[in-house]
Protein backbone atom coordinates (compact mmCIF):
# COMPACT_ATOMS: atom_id res chain seq x y z
CA UNK A 1 0.00 0.00 0.00
CA UNK A 2 2.63 2.52 1.02
CA UNK A 3 4.77 1.58 -2.01
CA UNK A 4 1.98 2.48 -4.35
CA UNK A 5 1.45 5.82 -2.71
CA UNK A 6 4.99 6.94 -3.53
CA UNK A 7 3.96 7.26 -7.14
CA UNK A 8 1.69 10.11 -8.16
CA UNK A 9 -1.42 8.27 -9.21
CA UNK A 10 -4.43 9.99 -10.61
CA UNK A 11 -7.48 9.24 -8.52
CA UNK A 12 -10.90 10.84 -8.20
CA UNK A 13 -9.40 12.95 -5.38
CA UNK A 14 -7.66 15.01 -8.06
CA UNK A 15 -11.06 16.02 -9.43
CA UNK A 16 -12.68 16.70 -6.10
CA UNK A 17 -14.26 20.11 -5.80
CA UNK A 18 -13.63 22.64 -3.10
CA UNK A 19 -10.22 22.23 -1.52
CA UNK A 20 -7.53 24.79 -2.22
CA UNK A 21 -5.16 23.55 0.48
CA UNK A 22 -2.20 21.50 -0.68
CA UNK A 23 -1.63 19.93 2.74
CA UNK A 24 -5.24 18.76 2.96
CA UNK A 25 -5.04 17.35 -0.52
CA UNK A 26 -1.74 15.51 -0.06
CA UNK A 27 -2.89 14.05 3.24
CA UNK A 28 -5.60 12.27 1.25
CA UNK A 29 -3.64 11.12 -1.81
CA UNK A 30 -0.06 10.72 -0.63
CA UNK A 31 0.19 11.19 3.17
CA UNK A 32 3.62 9.56 3.35
CA UNK A 33 5.35 12.56 1.84
CA UNK A 34 4.15 14.94 4.57
CA UNK A 35 6.52 15.83 7.42
CA UNK A 36 3.81 14.92 9.95
CA UNK A 37 3.80 11.29 8.74
CA UNK A 38 6.97 10.56 10.72
CA UNK A 39 6.65 8.09 13.55
CA UNK A 40 7.10 10.00 16.81
CA UNK A 41 9.78 8.25 18.88
CA UNK A 42 10.98 9.51 22.25
CA UNK A 43 14.30 11.34 22.13
CA UNK A 44 14.38 11.73 18.37
CA UNK A 45 15.33 15.38 18.81
CA UNK A 46 18.90 14.31 19.59
CA UNK A 47 19.18 12.70 16.15
CA UNK A 48 18.59 15.91 14.27
CA UNK A 49 20.82 18.96 13.88
CA UNK A 50 19.43 22.17 15.37
CA UNK A 51 19.21 25.50 13.69
CA UNK A 52 19.45 28.44 15.98
CA UNK A 53 18.72 32.16 15.95
CA UNK A 54 16.32 34.15 13.75
CA UNK A 55 15.77 37.89 14.20
CA UNK A 56 13.16 40.18 12.60
CA UNK A 57 12.60 43.92 12.78
CA UNK A 58 10.08 46.22 11.11
CA UNK A 59 10.78 49.61 9.60
CA UNK A 60 8.32 52.10 8.09
CA UNK A 61 8.59 50.61 4.57
CA UNK A 62 8.57 46.91 5.48
CA UNK A 63 10.30 44.26 7.56
CA UNK A 64 13.70 42.54 7.59
CA UNK A 65 14.41 38.98 8.77
CA UNK A 66 17.90 37.61 9.38
CA UNK A 67 19.30 34.26 10.44
CA UNK A 68 22.76 33.06 11.43
CA UNK A 69 24.33 30.21 9.45
CA UNK A 70 25.00 27.57 12.10
CA UNK A 71 23.38 24.18 12.74
CA UNK A 72 24.55 22.18 15.76
CA UNK A 73 24.26 18.62 17.02
CA UNK A 74 25.14 18.67 20.69
CA UNK A 75 28.62 20.15 20.89
CA UNK A 76 29.30 19.57 17.20
CA UNK A 77 28.80 22.18 14.50
CA UNK A 78 26.77 20.16 12.01
CA UNK A 79 26.78 22.78 9.28
CA UNK A 80 28.36 26.23 9.14
CA UNK A 81 26.59 27.62 6.10
CA UNK A 82 22.99 26.45 6.54
CA UNK A 83 20.26 28.84 5.39
CA UNK A 84 17.29 29.24 7.68
CA UNK A 85 15.50 32.25 6.23
CA UNK A 86 13.46 31.84 3.04
CA UNK A 87 10.97 33.73 0.94
CA UNK A 88 7.63 32.02 1.61
CA UNK A 89 6.11 33.71 -1.43
CA UNK A 90 6.32 37.03 -3.21
CA UNK A 91 5.50 39.12 -0.11
CA UNK A 92 6.35 37.03 2.94
CA UNK A 93 9.39 35.56 4.67
CA UNK A 94 9.78 32.56 6.95
CA UNK A 95 12.73 31.93 9.25
CA UNK A 96 13.03 28.73 11.26
CA UNK A 97 14.74 27.58 14.44
CA UNK A 98 14.75 24.07 15.87
CA UNK A 99 15.14 20.63 14.27
CA UNK A 100 16.80 21.59 11.00
CA UNK A 101 15.73 18.78 8.66
CA UNK A 102 12.09 18.92 9.68
CA UNK A 103 12.14 22.71 9.61
CA UNK A 104 13.45 22.89 6.05
CA UNK A 105 10.82 20.36 5.01
CA UNK A 106 8.11 22.40 6.69
CA UNK A 107 9.24 25.52 4.86
CA UNK A 108 9.07 23.65 1.55
CA UNK A 109 5.56 22.50 2.36
CA UNK A 110 4.49 25.99 3.41
CA UNK A 111 5.83 27.49 0.18
CA UNK A 112 3.89 24.98 -1.91
CA UNK A 113 0.81 25.54 0.25
CA UNK A 114 0.81 29.28 -0.51
CA UNK A 115 1.57 28.82 -4.20
CA UNK A 116 -1.07 26.11 -4.55
CA UNK A 117 -3.75 28.30 -3.01
CA UNK A 118 -2.76 31.21 -5.24
CA UNK A 119 -2.95 29.10 -8.39
CA UNK A 120 -6.22 27.35 -7.56
CA UNK A 121 -8.01 30.48 -6.35
CA UNK A 122 -6.38 32.92 -8.75
CA UNK A 123 -5.47 35.27 -5.89
CA UNK A 124 -2.99 35.06 -3.00
CA UNK A 125 -3.98 34.61 0.66
CA UNK A 126 -3.92 37.69 2.92
CA UNK A 127 -0.86 38.01 5.17
CA UNK A 128 -2.88 37.08 8.26
CA UNK A 129 -4.37 34.14 6.31
CA UNK A 130 -0.85 32.91 5.56
CA UNK A 131 0.15 33.32 9.22
CA UNK A 132 -2.90 31.31 10.33
CA UNK A 133 -2.20 28.59 7.79
CA UNK A 134 1.33 28.25 9.20
CA UNK A 135 -0.13 27.91 12.71
CA UNK A 136 -2.22 24.95 11.55
CA UNK A 137 0.82 23.30 10.03
CA UNK A 138 2.82 23.72 13.25
CA UNK A 139 -0.11 22.28 15.22
CA UNK A 140 -0.05 19.15 13.03
CA UNK A 141 3.54 18.73 14.12
CA UNK A 142 2.77 18.68 17.84
CA UNK A 143 3.23 14.90 18.18
CA UNK A 144 6.79 15.24 16.88
CA UNK A 145 7.46 18.32 18.96
CA UNK A 146 6.54 16.36 22.12
CA UNK A 147 9.28 13.87 21.23
CA UNK A 148 11.90 16.55 20.80
CA UNK A 149 11.51 17.43 17.12
CA UNK A 150 10.47 21.02 17.72
CA UNK A 151 10.24 23.58 14.94
CA UNK A 152 9.76 27.22 15.84
CA UNK A 153 9.16 29.52 12.88
CA UNK A 154 9.18 33.27 12.67
CA UNK A 155 6.91 34.61 9.95
CA UNK A 156 7.00 38.15 8.59
CA UNK A 157 5.84 39.94 5.50
CA UNK A 158 4.46 42.95 3.79
CA UNK A 159 0.72 43.31 4.42
CA UNK A 160 -0.79 44.81 1.29
CA UNK A 161 -4.07 45.51 3.08
CA UNK A 162 -2.62 47.65 5.87
CA UNK A 163 0.51 48.80 4.01
CA UNK A 164 3.05 47.79 6.67
CA UNK A 165 5.53 45.08 7.58
CA UNK A 166 4.25 42.65 10.22
CA UNK A 167 5.85 39.89 12.34
CA UNK A 168 4.22 36.72 13.71
CA UNK A 169 5.75 34.28 16.18
CA UNK A 170 4.61 30.75 17.10
CA UNK A 171 4.94 28.30 19.90
CA UNK A 172 5.37 24.54 19.40
CA UNK A 173 1.65 23.90 19.92
CA UNK A 174 0.67 26.16 17.03
CA UNK A 175 -0.13 29.28 19.06
CA UNK A 176 0.24 32.36 16.89
CA UNK A 177 1.21 35.76 18.29
CA UNK A 178 1.64 39.03 16.47
CA UNK A 179 4.82 40.84 17.49
CA UNK A 180 5.40 44.54 17.18
CA UNK A 181 8.61 46.31 16.14
CA UNK A 182 11.03 43.36 16.52
CA UNK A 183 11.27 39.76 17.65
CA UNK A 184 13.64 36.80 17.75
CA UNK A 185 13.35 33.02 18.08
CA UNK A 186 15.82 30.20 18.71
CA UNK A 187 18.55 29.42 21.22
CA UNK A 188 20.19 32.85 21.02
CA UNK A 189 16.92 34.76 20.95
CA UNK A 190 17.14 35.99 24.53
CA UNK A 191 20.39 37.80 23.78
CA UNK A 192 19.25 38.99 20.37
CA UNK A 193 16.07 40.44 21.81
CA UNK A 194 18.00 42.17 24.59
CA UNK A 195 20.29 43.65 22.00
CA UNK A 196 17.43 44.88 19.77
CA UNK A 197 15.66 46.33 22.77
CA UNK A 198 18.51 48.85 23.02
CA UNK A 199 19.26 49.25 19.31
CA UNK A 200 15.79 49.41 17.74
CA UNK A 201 14.34 52.69 16.57
CA UNK A 202 10.98 52.99 14.81
CA UNK A 203 12.36 55.33 12.13
CA UNK A 204 14.91 52.88 10.66
CA UNK A 205 15.34 52.65 6.92
CA UNK A 206 15.94 49.24 5.35
CA UNK A 207 19.74 49.42 5.62
CA UNK A 208 19.63 50.49 9.28
CA UNK A 209 17.13 47.74 10.11
CA UNK A 210 19.44 45.22 8.40
CA UNK A 211 22.43 46.46 10.41
CA UNK A 212 20.39 46.27 13.64
CA UNK A 213 19.42 42.62 13.09
CA UNK A 214 23.01 41.73 12.18
CA UNK A 215 24.17 43.45 15.40
CA UNK A 216 21.57 41.42 17.32
CA UNK A 217 22.80 38.18 15.74
CA UNK A 218 26.36 39.12 16.67
CA UNK A 219 25.28 39.64 20.29
CA UNK A 220 23.44 36.30 20.22
CA UNK A 221 26.56 34.54 18.87
CA UNK A 222 28.63 36.32 21.53
CA UNK A 223 26.78 34.61 24.38
CA UNK A 224 25.17 31.50 22.81
CA UNK A 225 27.52 28.79 21.55
CA UNK A 226 24.87 27.43 19.17
CA UNK A 227 24.59 30.68 17.22
CA UNK A 228 27.25 31.35 14.63
CA UNK A 229 28.84 34.78 14.29
CA UNK A 230 30.07 36.16 10.97
CA UNK A 231 32.79 33.86 9.60
CA UNK A 232 35.32 36.39 8.31
CA UNK A 233 37.79 33.82 6.96
CA UNK A 234 35.22 31.90 4.92
CA UNK A 235 33.08 34.94 4.16
CA UNK A 236 29.96 33.27 5.55
CA UNK A 237 27.62 36.02 6.69
CA UNK A 238 24.03 36.07 7.98
CA UNK A 239 21.20 35.72 5.46
CA UNK A 240 19.02 38.84 5.42
CA UNK A 241 15.71 39.13 3.54
CA UNK A 242 13.52 42.22 3.34
CA UNK A 243 9.80 42.37 2.48
CA UNK A 244 8.54 45.69 1.16
CA UNK A 245 5.73 46.76 -1.13
CA UNK A 246 7.97 45.69 -4.04
CA UNK A 247 8.05 42.13 -2.73
CA UNK A 248 10.64 40.01 -0.97
CA UNK A 249 14.27 40.58 -1.73
CA UNK A 250 17.39 38.94 -0.39
CA UNK A 251 20.06 41.50 0.46
CA UNK A 252 23.07 41.03 -1.78
CA UNK A 253 26.33 39.48 -0.57
CA UNK A 254 28.19 42.73 -1.13
CA UNK A 255 25.72 44.75 0.90
CA UNK A 256 25.85 42.25 3.78
CA UNK A 257 29.66 42.12 3.62
CA UNK A 258 29.68 45.93 3.84
CA UNK A 259 27.40 45.93 6.87
CA UNK A 260 29.47 43.18 8.54
CA UNK A 261 32.70 45.13 7.92
CA UNK A 262 31.08 48.21 9.46
CA UNK A 263 29.99 46.13 12.46
CA UNK A 264 33.42 44.51 12.92
CA UNK A 265 35.16 47.88 12.76
CA UNK A 266 32.94 49.35 15.45
CA UNK A 267 33.19 46.20 17.59
CA UNK A 268 37.01 46.47 17.41
CA UNK A 269 36.60 49.82 19.19
CA UNK A 270 33.88 48.64 21.56
CA UNK A 271 33.49 44.81 21.63
CA UNK A 272 30.07 44.95 23.32
CA UNK A 273 28.61 46.94 20.47
CA UNK A 274 26.97 50.37 20.36
CA UNK A 275 26.12 51.80 23.78
CA UNK A 276 22.67 53.15 24.57
CA UNK A 277 22.23 56.40 26.51
CA UNK A 278 21.73 55.79 30.23
CA UNK A 279 18.75 58.05 30.52
Partner 1 sequence: MSLPFYVAPEQQMKDRADYARKGIARGRSVVVLHYADGILFVAENRSQALHKVSEIYDRVAFAAVGRYNEFENLRQAGIRYADVRGYTYDRTDVTGRGLANMYAQVLGTIFSSGGDKPYEVEIVVAELGATPAQDQIYRLTYDGSVADEANFAVMGGSADAIAEIVSSGFTHGLRLAEAAKLAVGALGSDGGPNAAPRSLGVEALEVAVLDRTRAMPRKFRRIKGDRLAALLADGSQPTNGT
Least Cα distance to 124 among 135, 138, 136, 113 occurs for: 113
Least Cα distance to 222 among 163, 279, 259, 270 occurs for: 270
Neighbouring-strand partners of residue 167: 156, 179
Question: Is-catalytic flag, 244?
Answer: no
Give the interface segment with partner 1, choosing from 12-20, 41-49, 145-153, 254-262 (CB under 8 A).
12-20
Q: Does 264 bind partner 1 (CB under 8 A)?
A: no
Least distance in angstroms from the C-beta of 20 to partner 1: 9
164-170/176-179 β-pairing: antiparallel
Altogether, the residues listed in the chain come to a count of 279
- Residue 156 phi, psi (nearest 5): -145, 155
Least distance in angstroms from the C-beta of 117 to partner 1: 10
Binding mask 96-115 for partner 1 (x = CB under 8 A): ------------xx--x--x
Residue from 43, 74, 122, 277 touching partner 1 (CB under 8 A): that is 122
Active-site choice (11, 23, 52, 53): 52
Task: State which residue, 55 or 109, has the beta carbon closest to partner 1.
Answer: 109
Least distance in angstroms from the C-beta of 134 to partner 1: 17
Residue from 22, 170, 191, 237 touching partner 1 (CB under 8 A): that is 22
Q: Does 30 bind partner 1 (CB under 8 A)?
A: yes
Residue 42 backbone class (left: φ over 0; alpha: ψ -120 to 50; beta: rest) = beta
∠ Cα 22 92 241 (to 5°): 130
Total binding residues toward partner 1, as defined by CB under 8 A: 20
Task: State which residue, 91 or 183, has the beta carbon closest to partner 1.
Answer: 91
Residue from 2, 3, 10, 277 touching partner 1 (CB under 8 A): that is 10
Give the interface segment with partner 1, choosing from 20-28, 132-140, 154-162, 181-189 (CB under 8 A).
20-28
Q: Does 29 bind partner 1 (CB under 8 A)?
A: yes
239-244/247-250 β-pairing: antiparallel
- Dmax (CA) for the chain in angstroms is 68
- Beta-carbon contacts of 171 under 8 Å, excluding residues fewer than 6 positions away, are 152, 177
Cα–Cα dist 263/51, whole Å: 23
Residue from 17, 42, 76, 233 touching partner 1 (CB under 8 A): that is 17
Residue 12 backbone class (left: φ over 0; alpha: ψ -120 to 50; beta: rest) = alpha
Q: How far is CA 48 from the centre of its chain?
A: 18
Give the interface segment with partner 1, choosing from 9-17, 173-181, 191-199, 261-269 (CB under 8 A).
9-17
Q: Does 8 bind partner 1 (CB under 8 A)?
A: yes
Q: How far is CA 169 from the centre of its chain?
A: 10
Q: Does 74 bind partner 1 (CB under 8 A)?
A: no
Least Cα distance to 184 among 225, 222, 154, 158 occurs for: 154
Least distance in angstroms from the C-beta of 123 to partner 1: 10
What are the residues binding partner 1 (CB under 8 A)? Answer: 6, 8, 10, 14-15, 17, 22, 25-26, 29-30, 33, 108-109, 112, 115-116, 119-120, 122
Catalytic residues: 52
Amino acid sequence: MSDRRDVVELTSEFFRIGSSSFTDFVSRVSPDVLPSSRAAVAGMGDLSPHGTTIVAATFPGGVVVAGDRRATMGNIIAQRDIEKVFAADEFSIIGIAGAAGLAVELVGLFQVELEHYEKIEGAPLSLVGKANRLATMIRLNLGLAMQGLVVVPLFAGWDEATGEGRIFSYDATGGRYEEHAYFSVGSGSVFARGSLKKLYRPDFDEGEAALAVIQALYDAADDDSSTGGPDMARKIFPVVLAATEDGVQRLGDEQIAGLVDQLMASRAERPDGPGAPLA
